[in-house]
Amino acid sequence: MTDIGTIRIPEEVNDDENHFTCSVEGCERTFRRPGDFRRHVVRHVPPKFKCIADDCYKLFYRKDKLHEHLEQDHEDVVARVDES
In Å, what is the CA distance from 40 to each residue of 22, 33, 47?
8, 11, 11
Choose the stretch contacting Zn ion; rule: CB under 5 A; options: 4-12, 21-29, 31-39, 60-68: 21-29
State yes or no: residue 24 binds Zn ion (CB under 5 A): yes
The 10 Å Cβ neighbour count of residue 42 is: 13
Binding pattern for the stretch 26-55 against Zn ion, x by CB under 5 A and - elsewhere: -x-x---------------------x-x--
Q: Is the dihedral of CA 60, 51, 46, 17 positive or negative?
A: negative
9, 45, 56, 78: which one contacts Zn ion (CB under 5 A)?
56
